Amino acid sequence: MAATQGIKSSGGLGIPSLKTGMAAIAGVMMLVDLYFIFMVAPTDAVLGHVQRVFYFHVPIAIMSFLAFFVVFLGSLMYLIKRTPKWDAIAHASAEVGVVFVTLALLTGIIWARPVWNTWWTWEPRLTTTLILWLIYVAYLMVRSYAPTESKAAIYAAVMGIIGFVDVPIVYYSVVWWRSIHPSPVVGPFAESDALTGTMSLILLYSLITFVFLFIYMVMERMSLRKMEEELGKIRFSLRRRRR
């Protein structure tokens, strides 16, 4: 009973109300975002309604960059301080980042089919994004198959730092290697008239919405991992008692 109570108290990392509040804010903002995207955003004269995928695809891709930047920072701090907290942040952010980069690839494919008349083409942006996905899937596999938890943290930290090199390559790919992929609409290489006022505002709101969703998902994943660790300790103690 005491062990179970310990899990409940530690499952939210001491901030269950903050996590619940973040989930509520993200949920409400997502509903509003869906209304803006499907009811307010203008329909593109050339692409039609498929252009609305843009309001999901761009924020999701940016969130994957943010997630892997957090992995980079968390991994660097772990190697410097060897504090489990930084490893937990990096691990949770990597898992969330893989979800976002997977969705970025899928939404890109959905957009590409009617526009490029193909589901996939080996152009630079798609190829480098696929490489990014493979890097962080490998990151998670390294953590799963390492002989000990300490070695898993060290190996993953090194991989999380090196793997981040591909993030700027993904962004600059459409600048370095011009192809059929559209030019950037956000960032230093975006054209000033790339989006209309309404499109810019909806894209900004969508981006903020996904930031809240990202924060909640990382907090939730860290909470679940804490519970998994507590359950592991209970199983270990029960096995010792049986012996």
Q: What is the pLDDT of residues 93-125, one digit of tens each?
A: 999 999 999 999 999 998 888 888 888 889 899
DSSP state of 188: T
Domains and CATH numbers, the chain: 17-226 (1.20.120)
Per-residue confidence (pLDDT) for residue 240, from 0 to 100: 72
Q: Are 64 and 97 in contact (CB under 8 A)?
A: yes
Prediction pTM value: 0.85
Q: What is the pLDDT of residues 69-92, one digit of tens each?
A: 999 999 999 999 999 999 999 999
Q: Are 60 and 108 in contact (CB under 8 A)?
A: no
Per-residue confidence (pLDDT) for residue 6, from 0 to 100: 43
Position with higher pLDDT, 40 vs 17: 40
Share of the chain above pLDDT 70, in %: 88
Per-residue confidence (pLDDT) for residue 176, from 0 to 100: 85
Share of the chain above pLDDT 90, in %: 53
Token code pair at residue 77: 């701090």
Per-residue confidence (pLDDT) for residue 187, from 0 to 100: 66
Q: Is the pLDDT of residue 7 over 60?
A: no
Position with higher pLDDT, 183 vs 168: 168
Q: What is the pLDDT of residues 176-209, one digit of tens each?
A: 887 777 777 776 666 666 677 888 899 999 999 9
Looking from the CA of 209 toward its CB, the CA atoms found within 13 Å total 22
* DSSP percent split of the chain into helix, strand, coil, nearest 5: 80, 0, 20
Q: Are 207 and 30 in contact (CB under 8 A)?
A: no
- For the residues 134-149, what does the mean pLDDT come to? 92
